[in-house]
């Protein structure tokens, strides 16, 4: 019996997708076949607005169908957003915080169920405490199936409302990361943290510093002849750059196997030293200075986020019930056949894994393809 294998990415982790059998080379592409409304593997599917799941048993052109399950591990993208008072700086009629938040939301909407997403803000919402440790406002959740007509799905909408806060307060980075550590440690699968900030960590009453790391002095808010960050000074220790504690907190997260990307938006240049140290502690330092992810133009922030996310998205699919004849298998991305090619197509790894390579992998990682299909029953397509 020849096979038609239908794969659509499901909104669960591990991602369960289904496959089905088909007949001959001259049949229409898989996306042209009749579809049912749900996949045999269960869960909510995303397929560019089409009805999800395999063709029904009586779909024309099929000689029978046998369902398979494929596992796709969606990574956890965990955003830690600085909402300190300086993030209220106006940017094109908005605040810097809202521009950062919009870039995050656009990426999450675009990637859909390729990722799981969570978010925390700092400082936390605590009346009268401008240095309250940050808090998780959105627990890690599978991204939305891609919505019809490019509309926003319920997960992205919920993330939008959860992060809708006004910029205010200090920058308690170390205390925030310490609070988040148990939450991050408990997450299944691969996790990366994207920490976006416009300045240096502070808010540690136990900190001490000279003028070289007194933020009030560096930013021109105190007498240049007096260290105003000393205890009892006009700024006090809360305005010291909280370097040791923050670097240690980042190291503790990285020790869990979690990469921490430190993203400095405009305004952070003055504190490149501590941001470089944080990036090094997080396992993401560049090979040359600046070591952190420096964003000079907020218009480039979304592609910056996207490049980081792409590195975490896998191009590997494990078939728990693989075809018996690997030579009669094809892979489709959004209805277009991908050749069997180790450079820019796909290959088998062992008997039960399919890997995308080169251009095909890049298309998936960037959300350029939202529907993956594996078709068995026809000779494998080779590069022309």
Each residue's pLDDT tens digit, 206-221: 999 999 999 999 999 9
Top-confidence residue, 97 or 43: 97
**Mean pLDDT over residues 84-106, rounded?**
97
- 203 phi/psi in degrees, rounded to 5: 75, 20
Burial pattern 263-300, b for ≥16 Cβ within 10 A else e, equals: bbbeebeebbbbbbbbbbbbbbbeeeebbbbbbeebee
**Mean pLDDT over residues 239-263, rounded?**
98
Counting beta carbons within 10 angstroms of the beta carbon of residue 195, is it exposed (0 to 12), middle (13 to 18) or buried (19 or more)?
buried
Q: What pTM was estimated for this model as a whole?
A: 0.84
Asked which of 133-147, 173-187, 281-295 is least confident by mean pLDDT, the reply is: 133-147
Q: In what order do the strands lie in the sheet with 372-376?
A: 336-338, 329-333, 372-376
Closest CA to 202 of 176, 231, 232, 181: 176
Intra-chain end-to-end CA distance of the chain, in Å: 28
Share of the chain above pLDDT 90, in %: 66
Asked which of 115-124, 228-237, 375-384 is least confident by mean pLDDT, the reply is: 375-384
Contact 238/200 with Cβ under 8 angstroms? no
Give every CB contact of residue 190 below 8 A, 6+ residues apart in sequence.
Answer: 73, 75, 76, 312
Whether 292 has a pLDDT exceeding 80, the answer reads yes
Torsion angle defined by CA atoms of residues 310, 316, 320 and 321, in that order, rounded to the nearest 10 degrees = 120
Sketch out the chain's domains with CATH numbers.
9-73+314-376 (no CATH), 76-204+242-312 (3.40.50.410), 206-238 (no CATH)
Closest CA to 201 of 266, 134, 138: 134
**What pLDDT does 69 receive?**
62
Task: Encode pLDDT of 159-210 as tens digits.
Answer: 999 999 999 999 999 999 999 999 999 999 999 999 999 999 999 999 999 9
What whole-number distance in Å separates Cα of residue 194 and Cα of residue 216? 27
- 147 phi/psi in degrees, rounded to 5: -90, 155
- Predicted confidence band at 70 (pLDDT cuts at 50, 70, 90)? low
Residue entry with tokens 């922030």: 301
Distances 130 to 26, 127, 167, 372 between C-alpha atoms, Å: 67, 8, 11, 47
- Rounded to the nearest integer, the mean pLDDT of the chain is 83
């Amino acid at each position: 019996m020849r096979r038609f294998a239908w794969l659509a990415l499901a909104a669960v982790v591990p991602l369960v997708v289904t496959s089905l059998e088909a007949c001959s080379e001259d049949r229409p592409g898989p996306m042209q076949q009749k579809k049912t409304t749900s996949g045999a593997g269960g869960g909510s599917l995303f397929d560019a607005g089409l009805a999800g799941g395999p063709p029904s048993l009586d779909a024309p052109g099929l000689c029978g169908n046998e369902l398979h399950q494929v596992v796709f591990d969606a990574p956890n993208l965990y955003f830690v957003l600085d909402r300190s008072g300086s993030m209220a700086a106006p940017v094109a009629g908005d605040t810097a915080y809202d521009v950062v938040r919009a870039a995050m939301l656009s990426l999450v909407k675009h990637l859909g169920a390729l990722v799981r997403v969570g978010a925390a803000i700092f400082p936390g919402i605590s009346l009268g405490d401008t240095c309250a440790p940050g808090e998780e406002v959105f627990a890690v959740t599978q991204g939305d199936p891609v919505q019809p007509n490019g509309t926003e799905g319920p997960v992205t909408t919920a993330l939008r409302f959860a992060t809708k806060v006004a910029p205010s307060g200090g920058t308690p980075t170390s205390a925030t990361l310490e609070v988040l550590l148990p939450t991050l440690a408990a997450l299944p699968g691969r996790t990366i943290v994207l920490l976006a900030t416009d300045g240096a960590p502070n808010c540690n009453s136990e900190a001490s510093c000279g003028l070289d790391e007194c933020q009030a002095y560096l930013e021109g808010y105190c007498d240049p002849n007096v260290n105003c960050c000393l205890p009892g000074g006009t700024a006090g220790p809360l305005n010291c750059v909280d370097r040791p504690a923050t670097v240690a907190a980042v190291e503790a997260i990285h020790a869990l196997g979690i990469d921490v990307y430190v993203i400095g938006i405009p305004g952070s240049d003055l504190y490149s030293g501590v941001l470089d140290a944080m990036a090094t502690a997080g396992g993401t330092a560049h090979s040359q200075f600046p070591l952190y992810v420096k964003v000079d133009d907020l218009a480039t922030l979304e592609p910056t986020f996207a490049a980081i996310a792409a590195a975490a998205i896998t191009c590997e699919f494990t078939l728990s019930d693989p075809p018996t004849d690997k030579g009669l298998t094809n892979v489709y991305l959004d209805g277009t056949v991908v050749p069997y090619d180790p450079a820019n197509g796909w290959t088998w790894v062992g008997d039960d894994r399919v890997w995308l390579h080169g251009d095909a992998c890049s298309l998936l990682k960037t959300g350029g393809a939202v529907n993956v299909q594996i078709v068995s029953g026809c000779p494998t397509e080779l590069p022309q």
